[in-house]
A and B are shown apart, each in its own frame.
Chain A
């Protein structure tokens, strides 16, 4: 069964800490995405990547960065976490011929105190 795995389901961090959210897919997908999910706001795209070492800003990139050193791994980085970054973070991937069909991970719920 194909999978997108987010290593941390729940995290609690303090304001100002550096936070890494890891995502790994085993489908040899070219495209990977980080979304943020908040009640009443749906899913908003933070960053995405079409290939190794490539990244593009989504709709809400401020306060975030990403890293894609290997095809299967896409990391979301919060350089200095703030309370307004408390949220559910969803990673997704798709193949180049996948016609926009995203496969999602289970999510990482981050609380920043």
Chain B
């Protein structure tokens, strides 16, 4: 069965600083990988996804993620964070195309300081 590890429970960065959130997955075949964001009191919103092809994927709100098969990682990055980026971020892996079921990591809470 697939699994996802987000090793950082809580990260604090200054506004304007760069950000990298870590995600490692375990899955036997080619994974389908996702990052979702959850603002306080809200449901989850898709930031970006990787299915195949270019290993660097662009998402909404200026986020990007890079798939590294050799490291089983799919880290999320942003060059300059904004106060509105404060939220909880979840990495997820899909079993296979058409199955639609996702397994989520435990999440990373991002705090932005002025």
Taking Cβ atoms with an 8 Å cutoff, the residues of A that contact B are 4, 31, 33, 35, 40-45, 48, 50, 58, 90, 92, 94, 96, 98-107
The reply on B106 being an interface residue by CB < 8 A is: yes
Could you list 17 further interchain pairs (A-B, Cβ under 8 angstroms) beyond the known A40-B9, A99-B32, A101-B46? A35-B104, A40-B106, A42-B104, A43-B104, A90-B43, A90-B44, A92-B44, A96-B98, A96-B100, A100-B102, A103-B46, A104-B36, A104-B43, A104-B45, A105-B43, A106-B42, A107-B42
Bound together, the chains give a CA A44 to CA B105 distance in angstroms of: 9
Q: How large is the interface on B (under 10, 10 to 19, 20 to 34, 35 or more residues)?
A: 20 to 34
Q: Which residues of B contact A50 (CB under 8 A)?
A: 100
Contact of A101 among B41, B49, B106 (CB under 8 A): B49
Of A43, A50, A58, A96, chain B has the most CB atoms within 10 Å of the CB of: A43
Contacts A4-B43, A43-B90; is A99 near B104 (CB within 8 Å)?
A: no
Q: Which residues of A contact B45 (CB under 8 A)?
A: 104
Contact of A41 among B41, B49, B94, B106 (CB under 8 A): B106
Q: Which residues of B contact A42 (CB under 8 A)?
A: 6, 90, 104-107
The answer to whether A99 and B105 have CB atoms under 8 Å apart is: no
Can you list 25 A-B pairs, Cβ within 8 angstroms, ordered by A?
Answer: A42-B90, A42-B105, A42-B106, A43-B104, A44-B104, A45-B102, A48-B101, A50-B100, A90-B44, A96-B100, A99-B32, A99-B98, A100-B32, A100-B49, A100-B99, A100-B102, A101-B46, A102-B44, A102-B100, A103-B46, A104-B36, A104-B45, A106-B41, A106-B42, A107-B42
Q: Which residues of A contact B100 (CB under 8 A)?
A: 31, 48, 50, 94, 96, 98, 100, 102
Bound together, the chains give a CA A8 to CA B82 distance in angstroms of: 32
The answer to whether A99 and B97 have CB atoms under 8 Å apart is: yes
- Interface 0/1 of B1-43, CB less than 8 Å to A: 0000010010000000000000000000000101010000111
CB distance from A33 to the nearest CB of B (A): 7
Q: Which residues of A contact B103 (CB under 8 A)?
A: 45
